[in-house]
A = this chain, B = another copy of it.
Amino acid sequence: MTHPPRLKIKIQIHSGEEIAMGPGKADLLDAIREHGSISAAGRAMGMSYRRAWLLVDAMNRCWDEPLVHTAPGRAATSGARLTPLGDTVLAHYRSLQDGISQAANGADYDGLAGHLLPEPRASQKD
């Protein structure tokens, strides 16, 4: 039996109360780059067009320039691509994730992992 990764590290970058970048938004940028439109990227991620559009809108409002450029036209079908700043922000975010993952593989994680059970015991209330 396989287990999910035991250590999950979620990095969020905030602008005011809004999440300017996080794991889901970064994955959406990757998908937009791959698929060339917000609707196709959302579909590939199992996300509604509305949800994907809201995430792009939030990202585009949090930085000094937009991260995603959408061609004018019917919104759901027109193309979308990352701007130069979108490329830059995504690259820095991925690099931040890599650096932090490396920092996490140290003595403290080993000290925890040695006592962690692969599955929790049943609750006494079960």
Chain A interface residues (CB < 8 Å from chain B): 3-18, 20-21, 57-58, 61-65, 85, 88-89, 92-93, 95-96, 99-100, 102-104, 106, 108-109, 111-112, 115-125
Query: 26 A-B pairs, CB-CB below 8 angstroms?
Result: A3-B16, A4-B17, A7-B11, A7-B14, A9-B9, A9-B10, A9-B100, A10-B10, A10-B12, A11-B104, A15-B116, A15-B119, A16-B117, A16-B119, A20-B116, A21-B112, A57-B124, A61-B120, A61-B123, A62-B116, A64-B115, A65-B115, A92-B108, A92-B111, A93-B108, A102-B103
Q: Which residues of B contact A7 (CB under 8 A)?
A: 11-14
